[in-house]
Structure 1
């Protein structure tokens, strides 16, 4: 962790200003977890840049400046994440409108999917929800590609049978219906 005098200086700064920084950060965050993350990042920066930390009371002000930048970076990240979530949500909504079955059919697809045994649900989920190829499904399941293709074929057949029993037009939706189960389940 560095030379003893480096460690000692950091510990002195940490002990002297921990409470003040925690209060500063806590007043500017929404949760204790966010405050803990920002405080940890502030002191990690202080450790990395210990040679830049001024002596005495100026260290406290320097740490406030670091904490302020850490909080600003966190807000920018949250804003970008929120914007991305909104864009993706809008794209998914448009996709669902153009590709999806009506809600009644979607409920029937979910119900039919739940009627399958766990092995069938897993192989269908790997292929439809995760988009894995038969070879990739085989790797995940620990079987040969031929066995994976067979399992997938049988599971699709059983799902089609359950969908037909539920009155869902299997020819109209095909595997897309199953993909929607994973998205909205």
Structure 2
């Protein structure tokens, strides 16, 4: 039975799960758990199990919102992004209309759990990522670590593909600028 599940698409597994097939649900969760876990932990630390569980649960509840030509991964990270922003709003008691995603994690006061860096360059990148806005960080993570396409990122963030490209370009520039700042501090 397991090889059959591995051959099914994400959307087929989601549909089967919504129809009551818990084995399909388990397969879908196993397929994407690490990526969703990484998404939340890089911003909030270790205590993210509830957010991960709610992400997958909401995917089943909102299944009808996933367009026939849409990507499950784009849909999944869109749900995760919205949960993250709601969580940060509640955590910091900011107004519902406050643009939390425009703040950096340092501005919000959170300290993400960072893995022990293997070398100095990795530590600089991690620190630079913490200094850019949350929106820019999400863009870079979705593009580079999760390898989402421009179309999938557009779906996840509910913006146009051309907007993804321009914002991704600005995010890369912001990251480079932070890396330069951090590098010049180290050389003093």
The normalised TM-score by structure 2 is 0.34
The structure richer in helix per residue is 1
